[in-house]
Amino acid sequence: MSLACPLCGQALTQEEKRALCPAGHSFDRARQGYLNLLMDHSARGHGDDKAMLLARREFLEEGHYTPLLKELCALLCRRFPEEGVLVDAGCGEGWYFRGILRELASAGKRVDGYAFDVARDGARLAAERRVGDETYFVASVFRIPMLSGSADGVLSLFSPFAEEEYARILKKDGLLIRAFPEREHLMELKRAVYDKPVENVARADVSRLWETVEEKRVQYRLLLSREQVKRLFAMTPYVHKTSPRDREKLEALEELEVGLDFGVQVLCKKG
């Protein structure tokens, strides 16, 4: 039992059709099986829209990011306990979490899985493809409806670095696993579209709350067809920030070789 009532903070018990706290706050389960635990109305409508989530699902299922997923799986197989609570904070449509749960299960680990996204479509798409009995819900990374000290592992894969909440929900010796774009990630795509492409910002400084246990960099190149380039573009935040003129440059590409450049960090809480 790791979920916390978003209204009063007490433990939530999951029933078939709802989740319930001792104070009587009740949250209905949607038909697809996820819970809506987002109480902050200002956060509604944030997160990725459905078109972006579907483009991402299609692109990821073609396997282009599998080298990154394999690295994450290998890390977790080595470092996650034989039995424990794993949380994917900002899971999107859930491709990484599904892959990780399957890999940990085949390594014989018993994982109590929780994944959430601020986008309701993310939680819904993820819940539709559940692997086992993991829990999906709608919530913000900045206010996670989980009990303090309840998680053995938190995944923050391209999601905002809400470090105080991650530290709060982790057990004392729990691990935070981050993935983020490194400097050269998708630069060719940006160069092909923008006159002045911006490099990815330097990674966040984690030293205030975290010790670094391990760092990895995953770099490789892909040759993408015109359709794949369009899907890749549609799954990124650039899609909403690009002028019609720059979009035309994208449409004109026959194919594109791009460099993928991911950083992965395994962190534990200080003190």
Number of residues in contact with Zn ion under rule CB under 5 A:
6
Asked whether position 39 contacts Zn ion by CB under 5 A, the answer is no
Q: Considering the rule CB under 5 A, would residue 7 count as an interface residue with Zn ion?
A: yes
**Chosen residue from 1, 23, 51, 74 binding Zn ion by CB under 5 A:** 23
Q: Is 21 one of the binding residues for Zn ion (CB under 5 A)?
A: yes
Site for Zn ion contains 249 (CB under 5 A): no
Work out whether 218 is an interface residue with Zn ion (CB under 5 A): no
Q: Does 55 bind Zn ion (CB under 5 A)?
A: no
Assess 25 for contact with Zn ion (CB under 5 A): yes
- Written in H, E and C, the secondary structure of the chain is CCEECCCCCCECEECCCEEECCCCCEEEECCCCCEECCCCHHHCCCCCCHHHHHHHHHHHHCCCCHHHHHHHHHHHHHHCCCEEEEEEECCCCCHHHHHHHHHHHHCCCEEEEEEEECCHHHHHHHHHCCCCCCEEEECECCECCECCCCEEEEEEECCCCCHHHHHHHEEEEEEEEEEEECCCCCHHHHHHHCCCCCCCCCCCCCCCCEEEEEEEEEEEEEEEEHHHHHHHHHCCHHHHCCCHHHHHHHHCCCEEEEEEEEEEEEEEECC
Nearest to 53 by CA among 109, 12, 89, 94: 94
- Is position 1 an interface residue for Zn ion (rule: CB under 5 A)? no
Point out which span in 24-32, 36-44, 122-130, 226-234 binds Zn ion (CB under 5 A).
Answer: 24-32
By the rule CB under 5 A, 20 interacts with Zn ion:
no
CB of 37 or CB of 239, closer to Zn ion: 37
Contacting range for Zn ion; rule: CB under 5 A; set: 1-9, 104-112, 149-157, 179-187: 1-9
- Does 74 bind Zn ion (CB under 5 A)? Our answer is no
Per CB under 5 A, 204 contacts Zn ion: no
Q: Residue 146 interacts with Zn ion (CB under 5 A)?
A: no
Q: How far is the CB of 21 from Zn ion (least distance, A)?
A: 3
Closer by beta carbon to Zn ion, 21 or else 229? 21
Q: Least distance (Å) from Zn ion to the CB of residue 3?
A: 11
d(CA 141, CA 95): 18
Q: Which is nearer to Zn ion, 7 or 253 (CB)?
A: 7
Site of interaction with Zn ion (CB under 5 A): 5, 7-8, 21, 23, 25
